[in-house]
Amino acid sequence: MTRGRRANDGGHHPLGATFTGDTQRLFVHENGEGWTVGRLLAYAGDIERATPPGTGRLVAVRSHSAAFVIAALLGLWKAGRCPLLVDPALTSEPAGLRTRGERIPVIAPADVADPWSDVAVTESCGEPVPPGFPRPDACEVAFFTSGSTGEPKTVRKKASQLAEQYTVEAPWLGIGAGVSTLCLVPAFHILGYIYGFYWPGASAGTAMFNRVQSPQQWIDKVREGRPNLVVGVPAHYRLITQVLSDALPPAIYLCSGAPLDPAICDEFQRRAGSPVHQVYGSTETGGIATRVGSGPWRPFPTLAWQVRKADGRLLVRSAWQDVPDDWHPTGDAAEVEGDTFRLLGRVDSVVKIGGRRFSSGEIVQIALEEPRVDRAHAIVYSRFGELAVALFAVPKPGVALTPAELRTFVAGRLAPFKVPRTIQVVSELPTRGIGKVDESALRHMVSAGTSDVGRSISSP
């Protein structure tokens, strides 16, 4: 098959709204540097020419630079390939970087040393190339996702899936033409791709990425750039809320990737003057539902859902899933509340002790009521052949908290069979990716009996 055969002229692809228009218009602002559509398309030409011939459909892209990631997307589509976006922070090569025993080639910018790179691309500042986009039924982009297992796997998204979700979700959130996004999530993550790149591109808007890790600088970027969409994960909103003193410019402040503490929702709205819009979904399912505050989740229009009676698991079906006619089982338990639902926690967080079932999420909520607890997480683990719950808590800055004190607190508010078998007070919760708690690391801490603040306490 010849190069570009799988790509169309872009006329019917949503991103044609930006990349088939004025090449002189600014599209990306990254760390103070502006990138025009023409410059991105010229860089895309460099990447298209550097793409190794004779390999499979997938070509991996590794870069912290949003501009390089976007140029690589355009260049690989032009070459008839599907980009696989890889987190540059990964230090060991995941098994998912191989398919049918052969390693997927890796493209990276030439000015950054990358031990995984097979092709290092230098920007030549040549003539822009005409854009090409994948057909609706072709793979548009693929992501590494570790889900709840901690083991990365490749999830491919068709062009039609992403276009359908944009068509439904953007008006649902009140987003129209000319989206101006400040994305605190990297472009190689699905949240950065959808909200930081796809939405501004499909609406002829602008995208701003900021790799600075200072909450005050994030706040300054919001005040200076006045975006109408700000995209982050719970860690961003937690840190912003800690230092925010004055109201922020009106915008849709969007949070996804993990649950957001209701207390942070309330405090952010009080200080910022705008609520946080939470989006629930996964890389596999795409968007499922939204909510503001701590209320129930409202499913997207046209999405079908049900709660399976056998185990309380939430099942969803939508036009932007890989198999639209199949019910997709999520990893979460839910309960129906009219035409909305409430999440009860991960299905694997439901434990049966003493013949009675409950969710470890209930323990976390009780722990967060302790005034000295800043964050908390609970896991289910196996102990002498039986299931048990371990609770991990991070104290607020400058306060002391011992596991014994926390056990006394939760024991006074929970039924005896719900009190965690193990309690550890730690300085930080281990995370991976864009802030999800690394439960495999917590299980290792339980088995090792270690904690870095205070000591762990296990009941007999």
On the question of pLDDT at 450 being above 60, the answer is: no
pLDDT at 408 (0 to 100): 95
Mean pLDDT of 240-252: 95
pLDDT at 211 (0 to 100): 79
On the question of pLDDT at 2 being above 50, the answer is: no
pLDDT at 5 (0 to 100): 33
On the question of pLDDT at 147 being above 70, the answer is: no
Judged on CB neighbours under 10 Å (0-12, 13-18, 19+), 184 is: buried
Mean pLDDT of 74-86: 96
Mean pLDDT of 240-251: 95
Instruction: State if pTM tops 0.85.
Output: no
Weakest-pLDDT range from 9-23, 116-130, 242-256, 333-347 = 9-23
Q: Under DSSP, is residue 29 helix (H, G, I), strand (E, B) or coil?
A: strand
On the question of pLDDT at 297 being above 70, the answer is: yes
pLDDT in tens, 172-212: 998 888 899 999 999 999 999 999 999 999 999 999 998 77
Backbone phi and psi for residue 93, each to the nearest 5 degrees, phi listed first: -70, 120
Of 51-60, 126-135, 437-446, which has the strongest mean pLDDT?
Answer: 126-135
Length of the chain counted residue by residue: 460
Confidence of residue 4 (pLDDT cuts 50, 70, 90): very low
**CA atoms of 315 and 308, how far apart (whole Å):** 7
Mean pLDDT of 314-332: 90
Confidence of residue 144 (pLDDT cuts 50, 70, 90): confident
**CA atoms of 29 and 10, how far apart (whole Å):** 23
**CA atoms of 414 and 352, how far apart (whole Å):** 15
Tokens found for residue 397 = 């800055």
Q: Give percent of the chain above pLDDT 70.
A: 90
**CA atoms of 184 and 210, how far apart (whole Å):** 6
Mean pLDDT of 373-379: 90
CA dist 221 to 216, 217, 293, 451, Å? 9, 6, 24, 37
User: Cβ atoms within 10 A of the Cβ of 220, count?
Assistant: 13
Rounded to 5°, the CA angle 98-104-108 comes to 130
67 sits in the region (left: phi over 0; alpha: psi -120 to 50; else beta) called: alpha
**CA atoms of 435 and 160, how far apart (whole Å):** 29
pLDDT at 456 (0 to 100): 44
pLDDT at 458 (0 to 100): 44
Mean pLDDT of 342-348: 81
**CA atoms of 143 and 156, how far apart (whole Å):** 7
pLDDT at 409 (0 to 100): 95
Which is more confident, 112 or 18? 18
Tokens 């950065």 correspond to: 192
Q: What's the mean pLDDT when you consider all of the chain?
A: 87
Q: Which domains does the chain have, with CATH numbers?
A: 7-342 (3.40.50.12780), 354-458 (3.30.300.30)
Q: Give percent of the chain above pLDDT 90.
A: 62
**CA atoms of 277 and 288, how far apart (whole Å):** 13
Judged on CB neighbours under 10 Å (0-12, 13-18, 19+), 340 is: middle
pLDDT at 177 (0 to 100): 87
pLDDT in tens, 13-59: 999 999 998 999 999 999 889 999 999 999 999 999 999 988 889 99
Weakest-pLDDT range from 365-369, 403-407, 445-449 = 445-449
Long-range contacts of 291-297 (CB under 8 A, 24+ apart): 292/265, 293/262, 293/265, 293/266, 293/269, 294/262, 294/265, 294/266, 295/340, 296/337, 296/338, 296/340, 296/341, 296/342, 297/340, 297/341, 297/342, 297/343
Confidence of residue 319 (pLDDT cuts 50, 70, 90): very high
